[in-house]
């Protein structure tokens, strides 16, 4: 029971802390649609399952004990976040050139892919999942229970970010923020670049 409480508490605190996942769900919900935001949230949940899967099969231990491998993952994640950031800044510049245009819609697959890659390439999620299973979950805990923990972590991510998507896509909220779409793209683009730069700097150090 103590282990379960620890897993639940740590997961909830980790999920609600701001990061790249929150930035992408908020941006897609505000500027695109509720559906895009919710699908981005589902993609994030799928990304979490990747972290859980490699942790359960033992690759998490390899990552934890191999600084070069973890730094490689950091570098890939940092590059992807910086790429996303510059994409949003480019969108903002496009809106400056054509201020009457509305944000282009994206496919369901594109929304899922954005959420999946943002989470799957986020080394902070790697640290969270690996640390949780290595330090909180007992090695004697049955595999079925550990799988249940992993599904719970993914489900919490989906439900939390789907709730964020529903909030930011509400008609009143969405209408206000849509008028500020250039600033939103600049803000979230800058945040993603900052997240990526911090990861890159940490990897170099």
Predicted confidence band at 135 (pLDDT cuts at 50, 70, 90)? confident
Amino acid 76: pLDDT: 75
Amino acid 98: pLDDT: 46
Q: What is the pTM of this model?
A: 0.74
Amino acid 36: pLDDT: 93
Q: How far apart are CA 77 and CA 199, in angstroms?
A: 8
Higher-scoring residue by pLDDT: 204, 128: 128
Is residue 100 within 8 A of residue 149, CB to CB? The reply is: no
Q: How far apart are CA 119 and CA 115, in angstroms?
A: 6
Average of pLDDT values for 118-141? 84
Query: In the chain, how many H helices and how many E strands?
Result: 10, 0
Amino acid 136: pLDDT: 81
Average of pLDDT values for 119-135? 84
Higher-scoring residue by pLDDT: 182, 56: 56
């Amino acid at each position: 029971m103590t282990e379960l409480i620890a897993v639940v508490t740590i997961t909830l605190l980790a999920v609600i802390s701001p990061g790249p996942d929150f930035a992408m769900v908020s941006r897609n919900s505000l500027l695109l649609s509720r559906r895009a935001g919710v699908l981005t949230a589902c993609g994030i949940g799928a990304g979490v399952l990747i972290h859980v899967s490699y942790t359960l099969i033992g690759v998490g231990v390899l990552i934890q004990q191999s600084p070069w491998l973890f730094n490689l993952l950091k570098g890939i994640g940092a590059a992807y976040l910086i790429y996303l950031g510059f994409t949003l800044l480019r969108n903002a510049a496009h809106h400056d050139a054509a201020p009457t245009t509305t944000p282009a819609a994206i496919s369901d697959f594109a929304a899922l892919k954005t959420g999946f890659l943002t989470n799957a390439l986020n080394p902070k999620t790697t640290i969270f999942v690996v640390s949780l299973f290595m330090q909180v979950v007992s090695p004697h805990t049955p595999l079925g229970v550990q799988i249940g923990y992993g599904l719970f972590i993914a489900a919490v991510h989906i439900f939390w970010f789907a709730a964020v998507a529903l909030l930011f896509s509400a008609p009143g909220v969405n209408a206000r923020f849509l008028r500020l779409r250039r600033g939103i793209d600049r803000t979230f683009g800058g945040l993603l670049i900052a997240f990526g730069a911090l990861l890159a700097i940490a990897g170099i150090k």
